[in-house]
Chain A
């Protein structure tokens, strides 16, 4: 199992050819209190860099982009029902969706935890 990070502040936990995607603790801190989440449905195809989900805090709306291409296996219904999970457990219970990777080479373009930490420090 490996965890990767994108410049759009998403994390991707990969097991075999399946990945779980969410937004990072840094991202939830920037957004503030999350009040609405929309996740993609199973079967939906996602293209790297394309819109995948929506997250809205009290003050602003943001898109969550697909860090890698693939087909959605599951959207997190528990998160839709309780959007505050993004704030309380962003890199655990607050995951957004799971997908089957269509091109594992895309993972090479992402950051590891150390690189992501330096990236946030430079923001």
Chain B
């Protein structure tokens, strides 16, 4: 028997809006409201509001926090400026990925956002491995919203004018109706947008104010998954896990230059070797022929019928109106344009290795209009 799902702070709000609730990461979460295709397209053309309060929000503080964290992840925290979220990963000694995350320096502490399904394990790992001078505060009373899409800035800046000055991967503290909010210009859809951390007791007021903006509709987990797949962004537990390294997962951008050279984080020996010699396998995008989606678990097979890899995420791309997928394949097959076969449910179809993202990112980068 598994534990019953816990309600999110916005549980009643989701149900009032007609969401279909499903168990996810130990919570009852909205999979969809009006429908995944409509919600997906709305986010790409206007602004979608996502409740991601299941994610873990941590405050990590105390003497030697920076050094202690650098021993667990490959980001260059010494170089990390105030209020600049950085994508990173907690790593195992063999280079496998415990979780992927965002870490931000905030004054005398670091603010970390980790995945909902893995947060308890992450906290235990951090508490076991960090120096005893460091305290990990799992902020269970903090909710998290994401507002994503080309009109997200119009909607949010109407309520909090200061957010328009943020650029992609910068953050700041804001106040709105007496509610303290930590807002970063970031997200998981490939669109411009924001992630908004507020106290759970105030989140319904914030969600209502955002939803009252014409540009904004509520978006469920179903469209969150199809949006991130089109954006080429990996999902932990599917495209990333204990057996995948950052190099195999094509996340080399997250390995800071100094850390690559100096090491001092778990898995460095294997990762350094893979950076020089190339990994055995690599995460790639696949454009799938025909209309039938290929799902997680489908086999990638070569021209002789040998199994050479597995699909880790797959579905139908509403923007491209075609099936797309992510898979791990041997390095020799990882070049865009290579053809492979995909076998699932007793059927075989063809796929072509494709550069990701499948749908171009539209982030609001500094210095770009």
Contacts and interface: CB of A to CB of B under 8 A. Distances in A.
Interface stretch (A19-27, A32-40, A95-103): A32-40
Contact of A58 (B36, B292, B345): B36
Contacts of B345: 61
Interface string B302-336: 00000000000001101000000000000000000
Task: Give the interface SS of chain A, mostly helix, strand, loop or mixed.
Answer: strand
B54 interface: no
A36 B318 contact: no
A33 B36 contact: yes
Interface string A24-66: 0000000011011010000000000000001011110100000
Given A32-B36, A33-B37, A61-B345, A56 B292 contact: yes
Nearest to A59: B222
B293 A56 contact: yes
B295 interface: yes
Nearest to A80: B291
A59 B39 CA distance: 13
B35 interface: yes
Interface in B9-44: 31-32, 35-38, 40
Given A33-B35, A38-B292, 20 more contacts: A32-B222, A33-B36, A35-B293, A35-B316, A36-B292, A36-B293, A54-B292, A56-B292, A56-B293, A56-B316, A57-B36, A58-B222, A58-B226, A58-B315, A58-B316, A58-B318, A59-B36, A59-B222, A61-B293, A61-B295
Interface of B: 31-32, 35-38, 40, 222, 225-226, 291-293, 295, 315-316, 318, 345
B172 to A, nearest CB: 35
A36 B291 contact: yes
A32 B318 CA distance: 13
Nearest to A58: B36
20 contacts: A32-B32, A32-B222, A33-B35, A33-B38, A35-B37, A36-B291, A36-B292, A36-B293, A36-B316, A56-B293, A58-B36, A58-B37, A58-B40, A58-B222, A58-B226, A59-B36, A59-B222, A61-B293, A61-B295, A61-B345
Contacts of A35: 37, 291, 293, 316
B191 to A, nearest CB: 18
A54 B347 CA distance: 12
Contacts of A56: 292-293, 316
A59 B40 CA distance: 12
Nearest to B36: A58
A87 to B, nearest CB: 8
Looking at B225, B293, B345, the one whose CB has the most chain A CB atoms below 10 A away is B293
Interface string A61-75: 100000000000000
Contacts of A83: 291
Nearest to A83: B291
Nearest to B345: A61
Interface string A107-119: 0000000000000
